[in-house]
Amino acid sequence: MSYLLIVDDDEDFATAVATVLRAKGHEVRMELEPSAAVRSMTERRPDLLLLDVMFPEDSTGGFELARTMRWRHENLKTVPILMLTAVNTRFPLGFSEKDIDDDWMPVTEFLEKPVDLDVLAERVETILAGRQGRRG
């Protein structure tokens, strides 16, 4: 069992994702704002972060949170991030280049919304398995 954190301003979506992942036996916590997510992760480090991109107060809040984790929080540096975005990353409309540059953007993987929940669950297991493999 792993501890997963979902950060998404859409509570309905986050709840549905959490339901599926809980059914897979994981402990899941949801946060609706990036600032609350940082507090939550400082209290308890998640094994995987499922992160949205656009938030009401910041249209690139997800990217910002990912960068903050990678460069400002030693403890959160290696937390894998699965980015769930309603914006197709192949069509980077309106984002600056640094936001979508693969080298610069330190997320583990992208999944585009609307997402097939089976695919999502499978991707989560793959990332967690890879992480455990690296630990072992």
Partner 1 sequence: MSASTDPTPRFVYELPLAEPAPSSSASADPDAAAPWREALLIGNVLWFVRLRWAAIASLASFGLVGIAFPDLLHSLGLRPQVDWPFLAAALLLLANLGFLGHARLIVRNPLRRGAIWNLWTQIVADLLVLTMVVHFLGSLETPTAFLYLAHVVLACIFFSRRQSLIVAAIAGGLYATCVGMERLHIIQTPGIYLDPLLRRTLTDQPAFPWVTLLSALGIYFVVWFLASHLSELVRGQELELAEANRRLTVAQREKTRHMLRTTHELKAPFAAIAANAQLLLKGHCGILSEQATQVVARIAARCRRLAVEIQEMLQLANLQSAEEHPTPTRLDVTEMVRWAVARVGAVAQERRVIVEEALSPATIVAVEDHIKMLLTNIIANAVVYSTEGGIVRVRCEGTPADGPVVTVEDEGIGIPAEKLPRIFDDYYRTEEAVRHNKDSTGLGLAIVRHVATSHRIRVRVESAPGRGTAVTLRFPTG
- Residue 55 DSSP code: B
**Judged by CB, which is closer to partner 1: 76, or 95?**
95
By C-alpha distance, which of 37, 91, 46, 92 is closest to 64?
A: 37
Q: Name the one range near partner 1 by CB under 8 A: 40-48, 85-93, 101-109, 125-133.
A: 85-93
Q: Name the one range near partner 1 by CB under 8 A: 13-21, 33-41, 43-51, 73-81.
A: 13-21
CB atoms within 10 A of CB 10: 14
Least distance CB 19 / partner 1 (angstroms): 5
- Out of 17, 38, 65, 66, which residue is the one contacting partner 1 (CB under 8 A)? 17
- For residue 13, the Cα-to-chain-centroid distance in whole angstroms is 13
> Residue 41 is encoded by which pair of tokens?
């992760």
Q: Which residue is associated with the tokens 């959490």?
A: 18
Contact positions toward partner 1, by CB under 8 A?
10, 12-13, 16-17, 19-20, 23, 54, 59, 86-88, 90-91, 93-94, 113-118
